[in-house]
Amino acid sequence: MRRSSRSDRLVDRPRLLGALGDCRSAVIEAMTVMRPTGALYHSAATVLAAIDGLALMLTGNRSYFHLRGHGGAPAMPDDENL
Protein backbone atom coordinates (compact mmCIF):
# COMPACT_ATOMS: atom_id res chain seq x y z
CA MET A 1 0.00 0.00 0.00
CA ARG A 2 1.42 3.38 -1.03
CA ARG A 3 1.54 6.25 1.47
CA SER A 4 0.13 9.58 0.42
CA SER A 5 2.53 12.52 0.24
CA ARG A 6 -0.36 14.92 0.84
CA SER A 7 -0.99 16.63 4.14
CA ASP A 8 -2.78 19.77 5.29
CA ARG A 9 0.41 20.62 7.16
CA LEU A 10 2.19 21.07 3.81
CA VAL A 11 -0.08 23.94 2.72
CA ASP A 12 1.76 27.27 2.40
CA ARG A 13 -0.80 29.12 4.50
CA PRO A 14 0.66 32.64 4.26
CA ARG A 15 0.85 32.38 0.46
CA LEU A 16 -2.67 30.98 0.19
CA LEU A 17 -4.08 33.62 2.54
CA GLY A 18 -2.42 36.35 0.47
CA ALA A 19 -3.98 35.03 -2.73
CA LEU A 20 -7.37 34.67 -1.05
CA GLY A 21 -7.12 38.25 0.23
CA ASP A 22 -6.38 39.54 -3.27
CA CYS A 23 -9.30 37.58 -4.70
CA ARG A 24 -11.64 38.72 -1.92
CA SER A 25 -10.73 42.36 -2.54
CA ALA A 26 -11.36 42.00 -6.27
CA VAL A 27 -14.76 40.40 -5.67
CA ILE A 28 -15.78 43.14 -3.22
CA GLU A 29 -14.69 45.82 -5.69
CA ALA A 30 -16.72 44.18 -8.46
CA MET A 31 -19.75 43.89 -6.18
CA THR A 32 -19.85 47.68 -5.76
CA VAL A 33 -21.15 48.01 -9.34
CA MET A 34 -23.36 44.91 -9.45
CA ARG A 35 -27.10 45.01 -9.04
CA PRO A 36 -27.56 43.88 -5.40
CA THR A 37 -30.60 41.77 -6.20
CA GLY A 38 -29.04 40.00 -9.18
CA ALA A 39 -27.74 36.50 -9.62
CA LEU A 40 -24.19 37.77 -10.23
CA TYR A 41 -24.18 39.61 -6.89
CA HIS A 42 -25.53 36.52 -5.13
CA SER A 43 -22.81 34.37 -6.70
CA ALA A 44 -20.12 36.86 -5.66
CA ALA A 45 -21.46 36.82 -2.09
CA THR A 46 -21.22 33.03 -2.16
CA VAL A 47 -17.57 33.29 -3.22
CA LEU A 48 -16.90 35.70 -0.33
CA ALA A 49 -18.50 33.27 2.11
CA ALA A 50 -16.33 30.44 0.76
CA ILE A 51 -13.17 32.55 1.07
CA ASP A 52 -14.07 33.46 4.65
CA GLY A 53 -14.78 29.80 5.40
CA LEU A 54 -11.40 28.73 4.05
CA ALA A 55 -9.69 31.53 6.01
CA LEU A 56 -11.44 30.20 9.13
CA MET A 57 -10.07 26.73 8.44
CA LEU A 58 -6.56 28.10 7.84
CA THR A 59 -6.41 30.52 10.77
CA GLY A 60 -9.15 29.67 13.23
CA ASN A 61 -10.42 33.24 12.78
CA ARG A 62 -13.71 33.71 10.91
CA SER A 63 -13.04 37.47 10.66
CA TYR A 64 -9.50 37.15 9.28
CA PHE A 65 -10.19 39.36 6.25
CA HIS A 66 -12.72 41.72 7.79
CA LEU A 67 -11.71 45.35 8.12
CA ARG A 68 -9.92 46.43 11.25
CA GLY A 69 -9.08 49.86 12.64
CA HIS A 70 -6.47 52.00 10.92
CA GLY A 71 -3.18 50.22 10.45
CA GLY A 72 -4.55 46.88 11.62
CA ALA A 73 -2.95 43.93 9.91
CA PRO A 74 -4.60 40.52 9.70
CA ALA A 75 -3.66 38.20 12.54
CA MET A 76 -1.35 35.36 11.65
CA PRO A 77 -2.59 31.79 12.10
CA ASP A 78 -2.14 30.14 15.47
CA ASP A 79 0.63 27.54 15.62
CA GLU A 80 -1.94 24.87 16.49
CA ASN A 81 -3.71 25.50 13.16
CA LEU A 82 -0.58 25.14 11.04
Residue 3 is assigned to a structural domain of this protein: no
pLDDT of residue 1: 63
Q: What is the pLDDT of residues 22-66, one digit of tens each?
A: 999 999 999 999 999 999 999 999 999 999 999 999 999 989 998
Residue 47 is assigned to a structural domain of this protein: yes
Residue 26 is assigned to a structural domain of this protein: yes
Counting the structural domains of the chain, the total is 1
Residue 81 clears pLDDT 60, i.e. is over it: no
pLDDT of residue 12: 96
pLDDT of residue 4: 74
Residue 20 is assigned to a structural domain of this protein: yes
pLDDT of residue 43: 98
Task: Find the domain containing 45 and state its range.
Answer: 13-64
Q: What is the pLDDT of residues 2-29, one digit of tens each?
A: 667 899 999 999 999 999 999 999 999 9
Residue 24 is assigned to a structural domain of this protein: yes
Residue 55 is assigned to a structural domain of this protein: yes
Residue 1 is assigned to a structural domain of this protein: no
The DSSP-derived string for 15-32 is HHHHHHHHHHHHHHHHHT
In order of 2, 20, 41, 50, 78, the CA distances from 62 in angstroms are: 36, 14, 21, 11, 13
